[in-house]
Amino acid sequence: MKELDDSPMRKTKEDAALTRKRLLDAALESFHTNGYAATTLEDIARRAGITRGAIQWHFGSKADLFNTLVRECYQRVATQFQAIYTQGGTPLQALRRILLSWLTYPEQDADFRSMLELTLLKTEVSPELAEGMQEKIQGNRASIQFFAGLIQQGIAVGEIRPDVRPEAAATAALGIINGMTSLWLVDPTSFSLQSYAEDAVDLFLQGIARV
């Protein structure tokens, strides 16, 4: 009997979760198509087939919706990458695997690509969007620290040259990922991230590896 009593509540929660997802999907499509500034809550509501009031109930303002969209997209991708980060291997093997995964991923995930295009090419940074952009900044810093830790481990076991500065090399590694990704987003027909990834990553690793 208790299961029957709980059923309407579960249904309400499921409906709310579904509505929230529809709004986030519609927001990504609208922001990506029109840019943040030109997109209105009415545009998003119309695309989602939901009232504007539902957006305000779930998220509040347009800026709150944008910031939530950015945060949850990066959280989703980070969760998917957990298995890649924990597969083991030597420090250089782990660094190569992770760099290749990050460099090729935008070509595999259309929603993540749209998010990158939105945040890098179609949105001017303003105070109301600081929270969402801060998520990206913190993610970059965490990546640099993680890469630096792997590089330090590589130095300790003799895989990487002892004169390599871990933080500098880690920043260069992230620069390769972000730089090549930005070039591809601007002109995706000029090259494929997946076809260039191994060459780019291996050139970087050869530069820091101990011979």
pLDDT at residue 2 above 70?
Answer: no
Point out the least confidently predicted range of 87-96, 129-138, 140-149, 163-172.
129-138
**53 and 97: one domain?**
no
Rounded CA separation 83/94 (Å): 11
pTM tops 0.85: no
Question: For residue 193, what is the domain's CATH number?
Answer: 1.10.357.10
The range of the structural domain enclosing residue 55 comes to 7-60
**164 and 112: one domain?**
yes
Strongest mean pLDDT among 45-59, 84-98, 116-130, 183-197: 183-197
Is position 26 within any domain? yes
Confidence of residue 11 (pLDDT cuts 50, 70, 90): low
Give the position of tokens 């076809």. 195
Indicate the number of domains in the chain: 2
Mean pLDDT within 69-81: 88
Mean pLDDT within 124-138: 80
**108 and 194: one domain?**
yes
Average pLDDT along the chain: 90
Is position 39 within any domain? yes
CB 28 within 8 A of CB 118: yes
**90 and 186: one domain?**
yes
Partners of 160 in the β-ladder: 209
Q: Exposed, middle or buried by CB within 10 Å (0-12, 13-18, 19+), for 22?
A: middle
Give the residue, 200 or 124, on which the prediction is more confident.
200
Rounded CA separation 73/81 (Å): 13
**56 and 86: one domain?**
no
Mean pLDDT within 182-205: 97
**115 and 196: one domain?**
yes
Rounded CA separation 98/92 (Å): 10
pLDDT at residue 94 above 60?
Answer: yes
pLDDT at residue 136 above 90?
Answer: no
Question: For residue 45, what is the domain's CATH number?
Answer: 1.10.10.60
Confidence of residue 177 (pLDDT cuts 50, 70, 90): very high
Residue partners of 193: CB distance under 8 A and separation at least 6: 103, 104, 106, 107, 180, 181, 184
Strongest mean pLDDT among 6-10, 46-50, 180-184: 180-184
What DSSP designation does 160 have? B
What tens digit of pLDDT does each residue of 152-170 get?
999 999 999 999 999 999 9
Q: Which H or E run contains 104?
A: helix 91-104
**126 and 186: one domain?**
yes
Is position 1 within any domain? no
Confidence of residue 138 (pLDDT cuts 50, 70, 90): confident
CB 208 within 8 A of CB 169: yes
> Tokens standing for 187?
């002109």
pLDDT at residue 51 above 70?
Answer: yes
- Give φ, ψ of 165 to 5 degrees: -90, 115
**78 and 177: one domain?**
yes
